[in-house]
Copies of this chain bind each other. A is one copy, B any other.
Amino acid sequence: MSARKKTRTSRPTATRPDGRRRKRASERRGVTIRDVALRAGVSIATVSRVLNRTAPVDERKRVLVETAAADLGYIPNPAAQSLLGRRTGGIGVLLPYVSGEFYSELLNGLDSTAKELGYFLLISTSHDRLEEWQAGARAMFGRVDGLVVMSPILTPDRLEIRSDEPTVYVNTPGAPDGANGFFSIGFSNLEGTFEATRYLLEAGHRTIAHVRGPVAHADADLREEGFRRAMAGHPAEECPVVEGGYHQEEGFAAARVIAAMQPRPTAVVAANDYCAMGVISGLLDAGLDVPGDVSVIGFDGVPSGRYSHPTLSTVEVPVRRLGERAVRTLVDVIQGHRAPPTGVEMIPVSLVLRASSRSLVEP
């Protein structure tokens, strides 16, 4: 019994004298570095060195190890690797939702870039609820090398993600001046609706309605503010703001309100594209023509807008690029290529005119 103690040295798994080990290695998960070492006739240290190219190894042994690893189909156990404090190869993505084309495009950008750079994605949604945020962040803890966070409602300091991992915020308020050391990537919410509204004014529209996005969403507030600024100086009845949301139903409901207004607006700036589609649907339903009676402009530039009927004028956000920039920046920080940035990087948006809006001045 006391003699056992000193035998704590490496011995081949097969020839171990005492049988009361929990499970034979082969019964457990796949092949380990031991199996490779055994087969190649070298130590596990050498195997590690070969596989990670971390030190020069004799050519013959190198080949031996490589073929042994290939034969056995050896894949290093990621848990053991990250236990050493090395990279996990994961990027955590915290989003409010995943449904809808905006998020699917965002995910697309995040995913392709992550794949290109050799990372994979861990995803968790919060539904804008603080406890789900924190549960998600806790689940990510120690499993990822960095975090991409999009939270249109809760500001970073309220989220209290006290992660040691580098974090990039996307379209998240509360770090407007790069204060608090946060870094975020945003797009021009305010300027987007401002430009869209100004275009409508220049196109001869007088009474323009805005269907705003969900309450307390910072980006919805900014879009409303852009609309208000463009309409500054116009009488209140010429720039009504209607409660809405980011989904078609809400746009549909808002359209009923707008169709009944006196004077009736000849144009609508909607919170986003889905909302705009709902608005169009509701206006048609109320017997109005789009863009004959009412012009409608959306926001986001979702792919469907190109094929909806009428095709949708919109403020186009390069969503995929947004995701790509987020991941690239994050990976740069993770790999130490650059110091953690602070501040806000703004991605410009552009007004895309299609068939759902028309000019009244040059018919």
- Residues of chain A whose beta carbon lies under 8 Å from any beta carbon of chain B: 28-30, 73, 75, 77-83, 85, 88-90, 97-101, 103-105, 107-108, 111-112, 115, 120-125, 132, 135-136, 138-143, 162, 164, 248, 251-252, 274, 277-278, 280-281, 284, 303-304, 306-311
Contact = CB atoms under 8 A, between A and B. Distances in A.
A124 B112 CA distance: 9
A98 B90 contact: no
A252 B83 contact: no
A248 B75 contact: no
Contacts of A81: 79
A290 to B, nearest CB: 9
A248 B303 CA distance: 9
Contacts of A103: 104
B142 A78 contact: yes
A285 to B, nearest CB: 10
Contacts of A75: 138, 141-142
Nearest to A83: B79
B105 A115 contact: no
Nearest to A126: B115
Number of copies: 2
Contact of A164 (B30, B112, B278): B30
A248 B306 contact: yes
Contacts of A138: 75
20 contacts: A77-B83, A78-B79, A79-B142, A80-B83, A98-B108, A98-B111, A99-B105, A100-B104, A101-B101, A111-B124, A111-B125, A120-B123, A120-B140, A121-B124, A122-B123, A143-B143, A248-B307, A277-B304, A281-B308, A308-B308
A324 to B, nearest CB: 14
A165 to B, nearest CB: 10
A98 B142 CA distance: 26
A142 B309 CA distance: 48
Nearest to A77: B142
B120 A121 contact: no
A85 B307 contact: no
Shortest Cβ-Cβ A-B pairs, 3 listed: A104-B104, A248-B307, A79-B83
B122 A120 contact: yes
Given A79-B79, A115-B135, A281-B307, 13 more contacts: A30-B164, A75-B141, A75-B142, A78-B141, A80-B83, A89-B139, A97-B108, A100-B101, A104-B104, A120-B122, A121-B123, A143-B143, A252-B307
